[in-house]
Amino acid sequence: MNIFEALREDHDKMREMLDRLIETHGDSETRRELLQKTRNTLHDHEVAEERHF
């Protein structure tokens, strides 16, 4: 897998997480977990992009 394929795969994962996050509401444990997972994934993605581009 090259960097472009990996980044594209990350984009797909982030879309799925954001779709799931949108379906939640209020201050729920599920929402907090999804938000943290989304933040972590975005951070990792950002680091990978900065490293390679």
pTM of the model: 0.75
User: Which alpha helices (DSSP H) does 1-53 contain, by range?
Assistant: 3-23, 29-52
Mean pLDDT computed over every residue of the chain:
90
User: With bands split at pLDDT 50, 70 and 90, how would you rate the model's confidence at 45?
Assistant: confident
Q: Is there a contact between 21 and 35 (Cβ–Cβ < 8 Å)?
A: yes
Q: Is there a contact between 25 and 31 (Cβ–Cβ < 8 Å)?
A: yes
**Cα–Cα distance measured from residue 44 to residue 38, given in angstroms and rounded to the nearest whole number:** 10
Query: pLDDT digits over 1-23, tens only?
Result: 888 898 899 899 999 999 999 99
> Looking at residue 6, what is its pLDDT?
87
Domain boundaries, the chain: 3-52
